Amino acid sequence: MADVSVERSESRALPLGDPAPLGLSGFALTTFVLSASNAGFLFTFGNGGAIVAATAIFYGGIAQLLAGMWEFRNGNTFGATAFTSYGAFWLALGVVLFPPSGIAAALVKEGDINTAIGVFLLGWTIFTGFMFLGTLRLSGALVGVFGFLFLAFLFLTIGKLGGSNTMYQVGGWLGIITALVAWYTAAAGVLAKTNSAIRLPTFPLG
C-alpha cells in the first residue's frame, strides 16, 4: 500500500506543460483569418466566412477551451479566464457563420444582422477592456495583445452599430496587428520551453 501511495504522489507531482502558447496560437491564427476578411486583406471585404467558421470552431474554439482548462489546472486564473472565454467566443461566432446553422441567414432576412453582431461585439469589447487591465502587471507582450484586441473590438463595434464599413475595416487591420503580437508571444513561450538559442523578450511588468 505504501508503494502505491508513493507512486500516486509522484504522478501528481509530474510537471505540466505550459498551455499558453497553444491558446495564443489558436487565438492568433483565427483572429488573423477573420481580420483579413474584415480588412479586405487577401480576401474580398467581408468574404471568407466559411473558412473563418471552420478555423473558429476547431482551433480558435476547441483548442483554446482546452488551453483554458489546463490553465485552471495550473492555477492561472487570468489565463484560464482568457482562453476559455475567447474559445467560447470563437465557437459562438463559428456557429453563427456556419451556413447550416441558418443563424446568419435568419438575421440577414430580418434586417438585424448589423445590430446583432454590433451588440455581440460590444459585449466582447467590455470584457476585453477589463482583461486588458489585468495585463498591466503581467508583461508588455500581453499588454500589446489585449490592448490591440480592445481597439479592434471597439472599431468593429462602432463599424457595425454605426453602419461604417471604413471603421469596420480599421478594426480588421487592428485585428491583424493583434494576431501578429499574439503569435510573437506564443513563439516566445515555445522557444523558452525548448532551450532554444533564440529568445524573444516578453517584457515582464509585475
pLDDT-based confidence at residue 129 (cuts at 50, 70, 90): very high
If we measure between CA atoms, which residue out of 168, 84, 170 comes closest to residue 127? 84
Q: What is the pLDDT of residue 137?
A: 95
72-126 confidence digits (pLDDT tens): 999 999 999 999 999 999 999 999 988 888 998 898 888 888 999 999 999 999 9
Give phi and psi for 45, each to the nearest 5: -50, 125
Residue 194 one-letter amino acid:
T
Q: What is the pTM of this model?
A: 0.90
Q: What is the pLDDT of residue 6?
A: 45
Lowest mean pLDDT among 55-64, 118-127, 173-182, 195-204: 195-204
DSSP string over 8-46: HHHHHTPPPP--HHHHHHHHHHHHHHHHHHHHTSSSPTT
Q: Where are the domains of the chain?
A: 18-193
Whether residue 68 is predicted with pLDDT greater than 60 in this model: the reply is yes
Residue 106 one-letter amino acid:
A
The answer to whether 20 and 164 have CB atoms below 8 angstroms apart is no
**C-alpha cell recorded at residue 164:** 461604417
16-64 confidence digits (pLDDT tens): 789 999 999 999 999 999 999 999 998 777 667 778 999 999 999 999 9
